[in-house]
Structure 1
């Protein structure tokens, strides 16, 4: 079910959930497309790591 909210890992201590009304740096997940477009990777920006 769509909630219209952003996904968060809740400070990295709880399962991911779509429970944020606004977006912060930790709700951004850079997308990397694999060679030949065969897959994608999402990377969390939590805890100031990239």
Structure 2
């Protein structure tokens, strides 16, 4: 969102470099926007997000 974008700019992060490295975890950890779900005890890596506006 716009807040993450603003943090990225203020930190001087290059999102293309993180994408090229497949390293979204480090990117969002640095911006403070990393979501950690914890163990789900399943072997499924799917995430569903529903946006209600």
Which structure shows the higher strand fraction? 1
Q: Is TM > 0.5 for Structure 1 vs Structure 2?
A: no
Structure with the greater alpha carbon radius of gyration: 2
Which structure shows the higher helix fraction? 2
